[in-house]
Every structure is written in C-alpha cells, then in structure tokens.
C-alpha cells in the first residue's frame, strides 16, 4: 500500500515538474509547482513527518505560491516573450548538463559515501510523544539560537522587500 | 676656539640659502654684502681656528669634531665630522682668504649681469663645498665635497648658459670629471674593503702600523684609483682637456675655482693620503711622471695661445703638474707650499686678466690688445707682480715654491724630473712675459670702439688685486729654505718624509751642501733666460715670432691646435660612445626593450580580449558555469580519492 | 518495500528538473519557481535521511529551509518587481548589465 502510494505520488510530482519547466504560461507554471509541492507533502507524511507536511502545505503551497501568483498577475506577464537576442542552442546543452548532474548524483548514491549515525528518535519514540511536540521541544532547547536568528532573518527580509518594491520612500 | 670650526662651514651655507631663496627680491648691493659677509665671517673664524691650532703643541695638532652619525649600515659607518689639522687649516685659510678677495672683486666685475644673485649663490655654495672637502674627517664626506665642487664648477662654467660654447664647456667639464670621480669612488670602496673603515684617522693609522706591505698590490690599486680621481679634478694628463674650456665661465670663477682652489683638490687629496701613497712606490712614480709630463706639455701649448685666459688656463695645468711632481717624489710640503703660492699669484693673474677684459669691454684676444700700460696702471703693476712671481724671480712667491720643487725633484727623483721641470719653467717664464708684453706693452692694437670705453677698474676690483699682489710678493717667505715656517707647520701631517731638503743635502755629502744655492742660481737663470727670449721676440724684433712660426710651421700648428688632443679624444672616445649610445637608444632601447615590454603588454591585452568573450553578462551563462562547476567538484570529490 | 534510495533518486530527479528549468527558461519568475523546486527536492532528502537514521535533525533543517525560502521569496519577488518597473520586462535575456 505505502509503496504504491510512493510510486503514484512520485510520478505525479515528476510529471508536474516536467510540465513546470516546459509550460509557457507562468500562471500554469505556478499551478504545476503547487501540484509538486502537494505531492511532496504527501511524501513527508509517508516519512512520518506530519508537522513538516502541514507546514509544507501552509507555507509553501499556500503562502509562497500565492505570493508568486500575486506578482505574476500584478505584472501581467504573458508567457516567454521572444528576446531581441536569440540563443539558438540554449536548450540542448542545458538538458545535457541536467543529465550529467543526475548521473553524478546517482554515482554518489551508489558509492557508500552517504553514511550516518543512528539516533534515538525511532518511529515508536516519535509517536509516543507526538511529532509536533518533539519539534517544539527541540526548537526551544537545542535549536534556540538558529530559531531566534530566523526571526531576525524574516524581519530583515520583510523590510528589504518593502524597500525594494516601494516606488518612493 | 677650535670648536668654532663648524661656523666656517655654516656661514657660506647661510649665504647660499639667502641668496638662492630670496636673492631675486633683494637689491644688488644687499646680495653682494651677504655673500661677501658670509665668506668674510668664515675667513675670520678660519683665522681664529688657525691660531687655536697654533696654541697646541705641534705633535697634538689634530682636532676632530663629530657633528652627527650619518650612515650606519652593518659594519659600514660614516660620521659627519670635521677634522682640523695643519693641512686642512692651511687649506681653509687659502679658500676663505682668496675666496673673500674674489667675492669682493666679483661685486665690481659682475655688476651689470642679470644673474647677479644666482652668481653669488653658486659662489657661496662652492666655498661651502670646498670647505667640506678639506674639512671632512672621512673619505665619504670628502667625496661629497668633491662632487659638490664639481657641481658648482659645472654651474659656474655654464653660468652664461645661453652661449652654446659655455654650456658645452660646462658639460665637458662635468663629464670628464665623472671619469676621474668614478676612479675616486672605486678607490674609496676598496679602502673600505681593505681597512673596514673610511675614517682618515682609522685608515692612516692602520696603514702606518705596517699591516700593509710596502708596494703591495691592494695599496697600489687604491692609490692609483685615488690618483685617477685627482687627475680628473686637477686637470692632469689625460683628463686635463676640460680646464682650458672652462674659461668660458666668468673670470672671477676661473680665478677662484679653476686656479686657486678646486683644481688643487687633487693635490690636497694626495697630500692627505700621503701615508697610503708612500706605501706604493709604483704609484708615486706614476704621479711624478704624469705631473712632470703635464707641466711640460701644458706649458708648451701655452707658448702660442692667443686668448689671454687660455694662456693662464694652460699655465694652471702646468703649475698643477709641478705640484703633482712634488707629491710624486714625496715632497708633499713642497707641493702644498706651491699650491698656496700658486693660489695667490694665479688668482692675481686671473683677476688682472679679468680687469683687462673688463676694461676692453669683453675682448679676450691678445692680438687686439697692447699698449694698455698707461691706461690701466694699477692693473698693469699688479699683473707685473703676478707675472714675475710665476716666472720665478726671487724674492717673489713663485720662486721659492718652484725652486723647492725642482730641488726636491733633483734630490729625491732623478735628473730627468729636474730637466723636464726646468724646461717647463723656461716655457713658463717665456709665455707669461709674452702675455704681459702683448697685453700691456708695444703699440696699441685695440679697435677704436673698445678704445672709447677704456677705463681703469673700480676700487672694489683693484683693492683685491693689490692685496693679492702683496701676498704674491711676500707669500714665498713662509718657505725660505733652511728656515721654512711652512715645513715646521705641516710636519705633523706628513711626518718625517714630508720634507728632507737638509737631510737630502747631507746624504749627498759635503760637496752637495751648496746644492740648494746652486739650484736657486740655475732656476733664476732659467727664468731670466725665458724673460729675455720674450723680450727679444716681442719687443726688440716683433717680426721674429712670425718667421719662427713659418720656419717651424709643423710644430707651431701642432702647438696652436693643442696637439690635436681634443680631436683625438673626439675620434677615440666621444664619437664611438656617441655611436654606441645611438645604437643602444635606437636599436636596443627603442626596439628590443620597448618591443619586449610592449609585446608582453600586447599579448596580455589580446589574450584578455579573447577571454572577455566568456563574460557575456547573461545570467543564463553564469548559471551554466555554476552547474558545470558543481559537476566538476562532485566528480573530483568522488573520483579524486 | 520503499528504501531511502527511492526517495533520494526522486529527490535527484526533481533537483535536476529544477536545474534544467533554471537553464532553459527566460522568464525570471519561472526561474524563481524552479529554484523553489530545487529547494523542495533537497528537503525530501533531508526528511528521508531523518526517517532512515531515526534523527530529528533532518526535520529541523527542513523547517529552517522553509523559513529561508519564505524570506527569499519575499525579497526575490520584490527585486523582480523593481526590475520590471525599470526595464518593463522580466526576460533575463534582455538583461546583461552584469557585463561592464
């Protein structure tokens, strides 16, 4: 059951991504990206990361993609306009480069370079406490400093966005 | 009183600074007063120092004043310090004394010149440099003074630089001096390598302790290099050619720099280094031979020259040859004594010729003079004293010093030195009286235009002439044989080897005891013979010189053209060097070196212009490079192990 | 049975598609979306490793990645708006002022 679900969801995600990179209309591009993100959220649930899945849905598929759509509509962009300059063979080297990248990543996966230490958070342990509570505990204990820095980052980003987008201060 | 010695240097420097910086805005009188006042004060201090030195017992008459540490680098140390001993105190008396008179004379002589303040600035700077040269207590400081007087000489020869001949003469003097200075500099370096110090005291102490064998190779090379410097500065064969041309400068400059002081720097230097020179018999022979040869050679050229200043210039070269002859046979005292008397009478002669030129509105050719005796009587009388002095008639100054040199040459050297010196003395008497007769006696050949302006020089020019005439008359009594004051005074510097006229006479046995007196009679006879010849040729039968010139036209032409030495030098050195320089400039520098540099730059530029094609400015390309770089890094990490 | 390798391969494929998208698209907003896709692909790897190694670190990193992505989206879109205002286009082939 789980493996079927993985294959179905994975296939949808990859197909949506392929459509994303070849679709001319940016609005559809954004919708395909939302599609991919929802699929990824499902994969998170399969990986016993329910809180992350929820945040993926709310922040990514919800907030960020709405922002994208909002900007697309604000600027009224219609597809890829033809440029004054033309790059005749721009797609072929790019695709070759992508295949090369995939190849080397797969080579890494096959080689035993990716080894890790087993930790204590088994599925049973997580379920006994609850995923969200565990993350909350960690955020305010071990990851307190990064968490606080994140808040500063968001604050600065908000100011920066306003600065950049405003016509006149 | 000896502590005042730095003031001797300070006053001329202040004069230079004032006249050089604000002289243009001052009135002419002020400029003259400042310059003369500076040298006058300096002279006064020099006298005080001299008497301060006299109060010390003779054997401890050395005073060193350290001013400051100048250079310290590893074992190399050079201090700026002044050394006062009998030799340098005598030199500063001559420099400041004669210099003071010439400064006063210059006020009158340069009165109409535009570059009045510039002239006095240079002249003060020269005095400062010359004092530095003689007062320095190490070779490097002496070298600084040595170079600085060369610079001042260059500036003053080319004082009227708008005249091409003057600027050419200045360049010639500078470049010929470079050749000599090169040797001097090498000599100083070799001294440092050998003795590990450049202080006079240290070097001479080490040399006199017998650490260096007599006639050893090193000391011979050192002294030859030092002598090379001396030949350049003191206009000896083969580097004498600049001095006659240097007469392009103002006449007081010729008197001060190119007769009385700067050109004697070589003699001073050899006298100062007498300890080193005594260690190398070979160099002494070279010095004596070159001195004797120069004395005769320059005197023979002087016989037929027609320019009044050029005759005096060749006479100076010849007299310097005498001084070197004296040094070469080891008679340093005689050399320095002649240096002093020469400073008196040659300054007098130059200033007198300047007065003549001044009177004739710039005429220098003796063929256009004559009969000036009654028009400029003071100049005539003083000039006569100078002429008699240089010719060597007792009791004038030149007689004693020249006679002592000839005697020493005979006693310590050999008969040939004496014969050459005596012949040169004959020539000297002849050409000096020829000059005197052509200028002041006979019928006037002055053109009527100059005749209208003919006038005796103003007081500030004639007074120095009179003082110098007195000095030329009496200066010789400082060195009367047997009771020589100057011998006793200088003996601490030169040790026992400086003067041995009595010792030499004793060595020759009782029969030679009367040798000095015999010599005096002979040299007086030579001088009178020379004067009589001149009288015969230029007063009694004025057509005789022409006949002789026709009879011996080859020799006459040779002499008139100064043995074609300038032409030979041009062909041998100047033109080849010019050609090589042209080759180096046009081919090596302009094509090879510039070509290489430009080629490298061009290659880099071309390579860059190809490389900049990779910088398109499009984000797509940069992203592409980033991905390619990632792939490369991954491949490197995975397969690199 | 689904192993970690399956997840990692899926992550690699999505990442590769993001890279290709960045390289071939002209529209700056779509390129930006492709970058978001790449971030998501890496997030899958994080969570997969966390599951595999019984660790919470992967999930924590995804959490921080998301905040950074949110900040980035805000600033990036602001930049695109500013550029559009100046050049009347979001086509990156018309922008080569990185070259002097």
Confidence (pLDDT) at B477:
85
The full DSSP string for chain C is ---HHHHHHHHHHHHHHHHHHHHH--BHHHHHHHHHHHHHHHHHHHHHHHHHTT-SHHHHHHHHHHHHHHHHHHHHHHHHHHHHHHHS--BGGG--TT--
| Chain B closest-CA separation from residue C7 CA (Å) | 20
Q: Which of B394, B138, C2 is nearest to A6 (CA)?
A: C2
Distances (CA, A) of B75 to B64, B79, B193, B318, B523: 21, 13, 11, 42, 52
pTM over 0.90: no
Q: A132 lies in a domain?
A: no
Q: Which domain holds residue C25?
A: 4-94
| Residue A154: pLDDT band with limits 50, 70, 90 | very high
Structural domain boundaries enclosing A45: 1-78
Helix (H, G, I), strand (E, B) or coil at B71: strand
C64 in A contact zone (CB under 8 Å)? yes
**Does ipTM top 0.95?**
no
Q: Which helix (H) or strand (E) holds A12?
A: helix A2-22
Q: Tell me the nearest-neighbour CA distance from C2 into chain B, angstroms.
A: 26
Higher per-residue pLDDT: B329 or B210: B329
B98-144, pLDDT tens digit by residue? 999 999 999 988 888 888 899 999 999 999 999 999 999 999 999 99
Assigned domain for A39 exists: yes
How far from each other are the two terminal CA atoms of chain A, in whole angstroms?
Answer: 57
Determine, yes or no, domain membership for A69: yes
In a domain, residue A70? The reply is yes
C33 occurs within a structural domain: yes
Considering only CA atoms, which of B466, B451, B303, B310 is closest in space to residue B383? B466
Structural domain contains residue A72: yes
Cα distance between residue B169 and residue B247, in whole Å: 8
Query: pLDDT-based confidence at B360, cuts 50/70/90?
Result: confident
Quick check: B464 pLDDT over 80? Answer: yes
Q: Give residue B641's pLDDT.
A: 67
Distance (Å, whole) CA A38 – CA C83? 31
For C76, the token pair is 């990036």
* Residue C100 belongs to some domain of the structure: no
Block residue for tokens 């008459």: B61
In a domain, A74, yes or no: yes
Whole-number pLDDT of residue B231: 93
Contacts of B636 by beta carbon, 8 Å cutoff, 6+ apart? none
- Does A92 score more than 50 pLDDT? yes
B81 forms beta bridges with: B66
**Domains held by chain C: number:** 1
Residues of A in Cβ contact (< 8 Å) with C90: 75, 77
Q: What is the CATH number of the domain that holds C55?
A: 1.10.287.3510
Question: For residue C40, is it within any domain?
Answer: yes
Q: B461-465, B553-557, B599-603 — which is least confidently predicted?
A: B553-557
Task: Give, for B73, the enclosing helix (H) or strand (E).
Answer: strand B63-73
Residues from chain C that touch A105, judged by Cβ atoms under 8 A, are 12, 15-16
Q: Is the pLDDT of residue B512 over 70?
A: no
* Domain-embedded: residue A106: no
User: Using an 8 Å Cβ cutoff, are A30 and A73 in contact?
Assistant: no
**Residue A40: is its pLDDT beyond 90?**
yes
Residues 6+ apart with CB under 8 A from B248: B157, B158, B160, B163, B165, B166, B169, B170
Q: What number is the average pLDDT over the span B317-339? A: 91
Cβ proximity of B429 and B527 under 8 Å: yes
> Which of B616, B627, B640, B641 is the best residue to mutate to test the A interface, defined by the most A CB atoms within 10 Å of its own CB?
B627
Q: pLDDT band for A89, please (50, 70, 90 cuts).
A: low
- Nearest in space to C33 (alpha carbons), one of A76, A68, B352, A154: A68
pLDDT at A84 over 70: no
Which residues of chain B are within 8 Å of residue C98 when distances are taken between CB atoms?
A: 617-619, 622
Q: What is the mean pLDDT of chain B?
A: 88
Q: Look at residue B372 and give its three-state secondary structure.
A: coil
Whether the per-residue pLDDT at B557 is higher than 50: the answer is yes
The whole-number pLDDT of residue B48 equals 92
Residue A33 in contact with residue A57, Cβ under 8 Å?
no
Output the domain CATH number for residue A15: 1.20.120.1200
For the segment B588-640, what is each residue's pLDDT rounded down to a tens digit? 888 899 999 999 999 999 999 998 887 877 888 888 889 999 999 988 888 87
Number of domains in chain A: 1
pLDDT at B493: 82
**pLDDT tens string for chain C (100 positions)?**
788 889 999 999 999 999 999 988 888 899 999 999 999 999 999 999 999 898 888 999 999 999 999 999 999 999 998 888 888 888 888 777 777 6
Cβ contact, residue pair A97, B638, below 8 Å: no
Note the pLDDT of residue B504. Answer: 43
Q: Which of B324, B343, B355, B548 is nearest to B434 (CA)?
A: B548
Distance from CA of B637 to the nearest CA of C (A): 18
Is there a domain that residue C99 lies in? no
Q: Are B65 and B81 in contact (CB under 8 A)?
A: yes
| pLDDT higher than threshold 60 for residue B503 | no
């Amino acid at each position: 059951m789980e493996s079927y679900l993985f294959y179905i969801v994975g296939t949808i995600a990859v197909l949506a991504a392929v459509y994303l990179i070849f679709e001319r209309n940016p609005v559809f591009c954004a919708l395909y990206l939302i599609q991919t993100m929802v699929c990824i959220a499902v994969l998170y649930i399969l990986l016993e990361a329910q809180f992350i899945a929820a945040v993926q849905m709310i922040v990514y598929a919800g907030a960020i993609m709405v922002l994208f759509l909002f900007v697309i509509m604000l600027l009224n962009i219609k597809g890829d306009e033809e440029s004054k300059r033309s790059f005749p063979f721009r797609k072929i080297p790019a695709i070759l480069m992508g295949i090369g990248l995939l190849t080397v990543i797969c080579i890494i996966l096959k080689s035993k370079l990716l080894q890790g230490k087993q930790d204590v958070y088994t599925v049973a342990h997580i379920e006994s406490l609850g995923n969200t509570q565990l993350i909350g505990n960690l955020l305010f204990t071990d990851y307190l400093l990064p968490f606080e820095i994140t808040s500063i980052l968001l604050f600065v980003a908000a100011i920066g966005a306003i600065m950049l987008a405003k016509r006149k201060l | 009183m000896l502590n005042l010695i730095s003031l001797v240097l300070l006053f001329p420097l202040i004069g230079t600074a004032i006249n050089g910086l604000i002289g243009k805005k001052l009135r002419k009188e002020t400029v003259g007063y400042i310059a003369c006042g500076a040298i006058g004060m300096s002279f006064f201090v020099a006298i005080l120092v001299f008497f301060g030195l006299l109060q010390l017992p003779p054997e401890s008459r050395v005073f060193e004043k350290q001013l400051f540490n100048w250079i310290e680098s590893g074992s190399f140390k050079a201090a700026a310090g002044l050394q006062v001993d009998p030799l340098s105190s005598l030199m500063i008396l001559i420099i400041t004394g004669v210099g003071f008179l010439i400064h006063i004379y210059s006020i009158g002589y340069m009165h109409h010149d535009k570059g009045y303040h510039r002239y006095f600035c240079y002249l003060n700077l020269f005095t400062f440099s010359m004092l530095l040269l003689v007062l320095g207590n190490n070779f490097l400081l002496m070298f600084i003074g040595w170079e600085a007087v060369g610079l001042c000489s260059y500036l003053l020869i080319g004082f009227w630089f708008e005249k091409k001949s003057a600027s050419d003469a200045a360049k010639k003097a500078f470049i010929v001096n470079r050749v000599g200075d090169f040797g001097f500099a090498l000599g100083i370096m070799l001294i440092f390598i050998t003795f590990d110090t450049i202080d006079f005291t240290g070097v001479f102490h080490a040399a006199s302790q017998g650490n260096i064998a007599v006639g050893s190779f090193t000391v011979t090379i050192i002294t030859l290099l030092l002598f090379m410097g001396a030949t350049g500065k003191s206009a000896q064969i083969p580097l004498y050619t600049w001095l006659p041309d240097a007469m392009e400068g103002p006449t007081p400059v010729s008197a001060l720099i190119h007769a009385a002081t700067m050109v004697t720097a070589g003699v001073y230097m050899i006298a100062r280094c007498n300890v080193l020179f005594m260690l190398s018999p070979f160099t002494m022979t070279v010095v004596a031979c070159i001195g004797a040869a120069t004395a005769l050679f320059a005197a023979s050229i002087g016989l037929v020259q027609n320019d009044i200043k050029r005759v005096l210039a060749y006479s100076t070269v010849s007299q310097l040859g005498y001084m070197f002859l004296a040094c070469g046979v080891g008679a340093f005292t005689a050399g320095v004594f002649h240096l002093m008397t020469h400073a008196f009478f040659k300054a007098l002669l130059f200033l007198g010729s300047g007065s003549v030129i001044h009177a004739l509105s710039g005429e220098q050719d003796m063929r256009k003079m004559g009969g000036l005796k009654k028009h400029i009587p003071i100049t005539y009388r003083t000039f006569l004293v100078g002429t008699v002095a240089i010719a060597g008639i007792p009791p004038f100054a030149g007689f004693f010093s020249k006679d002592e040199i000839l005697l020493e040459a005979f006693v310590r050297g050999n008969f040939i030195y004496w014969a050459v010196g005596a012949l040169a003395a004959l020539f000297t008497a002849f050409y000096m009286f020829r000059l005197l007769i052509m200028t002041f006696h006979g019928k006037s050949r002055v053109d009527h235009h100059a005749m209208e302006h003919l006038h005796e020089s103003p007081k500030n020019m004639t007074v120095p002439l009179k003082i110098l005439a007195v000095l030329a008359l009496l200066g010789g009594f400082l060195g009367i044989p047997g009771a020589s004051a100057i011998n006793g005074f200088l003996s601490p510097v030169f040790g026992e080897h400086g003067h041995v006229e009595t010792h030499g006479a004793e060595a020759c046995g009782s029969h030679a005891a009367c040798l000095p007196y015999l010599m005096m009679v002979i040299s007086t006879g030579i001088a009178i013979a020379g004067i009589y010849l001149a009288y015969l040729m230029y007063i009694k039968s004025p057509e005789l010189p022409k006949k002789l010139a026709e009879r011996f036209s080859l020799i006459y032409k040779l002499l008139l053209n100064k043995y074609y030495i300038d032409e030979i030098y041009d062909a041998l050195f100047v033109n080849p060097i010019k050609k090589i320089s042209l080759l180096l400039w046009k081919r090596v520098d302009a094509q090879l070196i510039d070509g290489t540099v430009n080629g490298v730059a061009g290659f880099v530029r071309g390579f860059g212009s190809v490389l900049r094609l990779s910088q398109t400015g499009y984000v797509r390309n940069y992203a592409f490079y980033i991905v390619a770089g990632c792939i490369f890094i991954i491949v490197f990490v995975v397969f690199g192990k | 049975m689904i192993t970690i390798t399956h997840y990692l391969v899926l992550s690699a494929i999505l990442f590769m598609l993001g890279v290709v998208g960045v390289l071939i698209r002209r529209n700056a907003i779509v390129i930006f979306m492709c970058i978001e896709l790449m971030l998501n692909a890496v997030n899958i790897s994080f969570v997969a490793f966390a599951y595999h190694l019984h660790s919470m670190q992967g999930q924590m990193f995804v959490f921080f990645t998301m905040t950074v992505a949110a900040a980035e989206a805000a600033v990036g879109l602001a930049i695109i708006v500013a550029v559009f205002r100046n050049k009347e286009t979001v086509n990156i082939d018309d922008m080569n002022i990185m070259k002097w």
